[in-house]
């Protein structure tokens, strides 16, 4: 177990999450992709703490990342509820005017 190999695992998780976030149509599935990407960030930050700088600052950073994940989930569900109420659908293709 070396830093490079752990970071490669994190990169693989990040790439899978990115694929899902781009390719999925359902809002909840897009959120799953983003969650997978944040999951990779948690693994990478934990590895950097373990292999490079075992100081408590990175642990605090990890707490912030986990909080960001919670915020993303809560607001994402709020938006999904709003779209579902307005369009009776939870597909990203029904909310394309957000691009404008």
Partner 1 sequence: MIASVLFWISALVAVVAGALVFKVDSMARATYALALSFIAVGVAVLTMRQDFVGIIVILMMVMEMAIMAVFMISYMGMNPALMPMDMTHAKRPAAAIATIVFVGLGAAVLLIPWPVIDPQPVEGLTEQLGEAMMGSKMLVMLTVSPVLFATIVASVVLASPRGRYDRYGDRLRGPAHDPEPGGLGR
Can you give the binding site for partner 1, defined by CB under 8 A? 1, 3-4, 6-9, 11-20, 22-26, 28-29, 31-33, 35-36, 39, 42-43, 46-47, 49-52, 54, 56-57, 59-60, 62-64, 66-67, 69-71, 73-75, 77-82, 84-85, 90-91, 93
11's CB contacts (< 8 A; 6+ apart) are 40
CB of 100 to partner 1, least distance (A): 19
Question: Quick one: which of 13, 20, 22 has its CA closest to 41?
Answer: 13
């Amino acid at each position: 177990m070396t830093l490079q190999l752990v970071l490669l695992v994190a990169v693989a998780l990040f790439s899978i999450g990115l694929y899902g976030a781009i390719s999925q149509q359902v809002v909840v599935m897009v959120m799953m992709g983003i969650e997978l990407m944040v999951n990779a960030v948690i693994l990478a930050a934990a590895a950097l703490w373990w292999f490079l700088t075992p100081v408590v600052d990175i642990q605090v950073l990890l707490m912030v990342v986990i909080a960001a994940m919670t915020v993303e989930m809560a607001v994402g569900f709020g938006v999904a509820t709003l779209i579902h109420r307005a369009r009776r659908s939870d597909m990203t293709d029904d909310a394309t005017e957000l691009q404008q």
